[in-house]
Amino acid sequence: MSRIGPYLRLARAGFVLAREGAFGFPEAEAMSARAGPAVRLARLVERRGLGEAERADRLTKALNRLGPSWVKLGQFLATRPDLVGRSFSLALGRLRDEIEPFPEEEARASIAAALGKPAGEIFVSLSPPVAAASIAQVHRAEVVQADGTRRALAVKVLRPGIRQRFRRDLETFYAGAHIAVRRPEMQRLRPVEVVDTLARSVSFEMDLRIEAAALSEMAEATASDPGFRVPSVDWARTARDVLTLDWVDGIRLSDLSALKAAGHDLPALARRLMQSFLRHALRDGFFHADMHQGNLFVDVEGNIVAVDFGITGRLTRAQRRFLAEILYGFIRRDYQRIAEVHFEAGFVPRHHAIEDFAQALRAIGEPIHGLPAREISMARLLTLLFEVTELFDMETRPELLMLQKTMVVVEGVSRSLDPDFDMWASSEPIVREWVERHLGPAGRLEDAAEGVGALGRLMVALPVLADRAEKLSLDLARMSERGIRLDPETVAELRQSDARAAWPTRAALWVIAAALVVLVIQLLR
């Protein structure tokens, strides 16, 4: 039963989704001839008379009915229009982690088990749940400080039994992914790796100490940022299943009427949100990857306050450079440079021509630049880019999907605050600052310094490498005596070969070192 269990659960989920119209989106109808009959069969059980809007609504309800694991899967697939199609992705993008809370008594029991004391001894007050999601729920609490004043806190408590539930459902997702990967056209989209990424993301979310660490890191990185902050973590009252942090008194970014009544400048908030996100992604290589309106507040001083750091994203220096050059290239309409960056990163197979790729990028960029500000959409740009990826045999880049998804969400929130929000004008100062700082003379000097440092570390390691080579040579000699039979001439030749190979390596290292010294001198002139 254990082997067929995931497939039975997959079949049940497939029926529920088919019933609620999941296979009625245009992308499903346009599937290949092999998948067509299966899609038509699935649509036989679909509720009649569903329009696209109603189908999207019923799909989100179906995923909620299947459980928190399926809600997470739906949210994750919403970031993959290349995998599920644009209209299906937009429907899944409506999913929010707003589900029924679990009883307060269970939350108190979890707090006691995690922190070693009854909740009544830890907090002077603990409210019923004020928000509930698929992984955890939040309570408002208070503690008495040393000076006798009360401090308001938010206490996030993991759902009881959620780890076991996710473990079981992940088996079902893997079963579906292994079925999908048998189709040649699905291999490029790497469905098994999609589930791998989802599994890693969820495992991080279910350890609230990891979220606490993310909050702490973001607080340090943004300490001097204008108009943005995150709440402080109460580490003494935080454990794997409980996260305690400062309570945020503010207005949700979704409550436009309350923001206006409080006198906040909504277009300024829209610009600040986009610029904060880009600053975090480019400068720090670390960003909040779930920046929808429910996770963003505005405090009385007009600061944007971000909460719920269960999902974060990271970018390497190379990925940050890629992002900055792509955005800057579109801002300046330099399609040749955008194409070159893709080829330099190895994202486009070398059998394609840079000029052809630049031409395709121009076909994407020029129509967007000709539009009024309110119609320039990052979502549209990324959709067109996804179409180009297939044309040029580009594999999906899982490490950039989180960034792309978050950028689209941030743009959507910014447009809700300001319908005339200009994505490019808001992005340009942050992107230009990063490009000038890191791709100008100072940035080249840093790159040279990093190269010299790497060379120094390699040279320090040379004695160790030499020792290992000598040990390998001795091992080979022993093997010739005890195990694998090598004649003495062969062993002697191997030793001589090691010695001969070491001289070109040393010579090459000194040539590289000399070249780097010359480069540094040139940059300092």
DSSP 435-492: HHHHHSHHHHHHHHHHHHHHHHHHHHHHHHHHHHHHHHHHHHHHHHHHSS---HHHHH
Q: What is the domain extent for residue 211?
A: 97-165+189-247
pLDDT, tens digit, for every residue of 478-502? 655 655 555 566 555 545 655 554 4
Check whether residue 243 and residue 343 sit in a common domain: no
Tens-binned pLDDT, residue by residue, of the chain (525 aa): 457 888 888 888 888 877 776 766 555 554 544 555 666 676 676 777 666 667 677 777 788 888 888 887 787 777 666 556 666 676 776 676 567 899 999 999 999 999 999 999 999 999 999 988 888 999 999 999 999 999 999 999 999 999 988 888 888 888 888 887 777 656 666 778 878 878 888 888 899 999 999 999 999 999 999 999 999 999 999 999 999 999 999 999 989 999 999 999 999 999 999 999 999 999 999 999 888 888 999 999 999 999 999 889 899 988 898 888 888 888 888 999 989 988 888 888 888 999 999 999 898 888 877 677 667 676 667 667 766 776 787 766 666 777 877 888 888 899 899 988 888 888 889 988 998 888 755 555 555 555 555 556 656 666 666 666 667 666 656 655 655 555 566 555 545 655 554 455 454 444 444 544 444 444 444
Residue type, 160: P
Assess if residue 177 is contained within a domain.
no
Assess if residue 175 is contained within a domain.
no
Assess if residue 402 is contained within a domain.
yes
Alpha carbons 228 and 226: distance in angstroms, whole number: 6
Check whether residue 403 and residue 514 sit in a common domain: no
Q: What are phi and psi of 132, to 5 degrees?
A: -135, 140
Check whether residue 303 and residue 396 sit in a common domain: yes
Check whether residue 279 and residue 414 sit in a common domain: yes
Last residue of a domain, one of 71, 96, 121: 96
Q: Apex CA 388: angle with CA 94 and CA 405, to 5°?
A: 30
Assess if residue 428 is contained within a domain.
yes
Assess if residue 182 is contained within a domain.
no
497-524 as b/e, with b when 16 or more CB fall inside 10 Å?
eeeeeeeeeeeeeeeebeebeebeeeee
Check whether residue 255 and residue 397 sit in a common domain: yes
Last residue of a domain, one of 96, 114, 136: 96
Check whether residue 389 and residue 481 sit in a common domain: no
Per DSSP, the three-state class of 273 is helix
Check whether residue 353 and residue 278 sit in a common domain: yes
- Strand ranges (DSSP E) for 97-208? 125-132, 136-144, 150-158
Assess if residue 183 is contained within a domain.
no
Check whether residue 79 and residue 224 sit in a common domain: no
Last residue of a domain, one of 380, 415, 436: 436
Assess if residue 184 is contained within a domain.
no
Check whether residue 253 and residue 332 sit in a common domain: yes
Residue type, 239: A
Number of domains in the chain: 4
Check whether residue 407 and residue 353 sit in a common domain: yes
Alpha carbons 386 and 79: distance in angstroms, whole number: 12
User: Do 307 and 252 meet the contact criterion of CB atoms below 8 Å apart?
Assistant: no
CA within 13 Å, CB half, 378: 24
Check whether residue 254 and residue 242 sit in a common domain: no
Catalytic residues, by residue number, are 290
Assess if residue 131 is contained within a domain.
yes
Check whether residue 396 and residue 335 sit in a common domain: yes
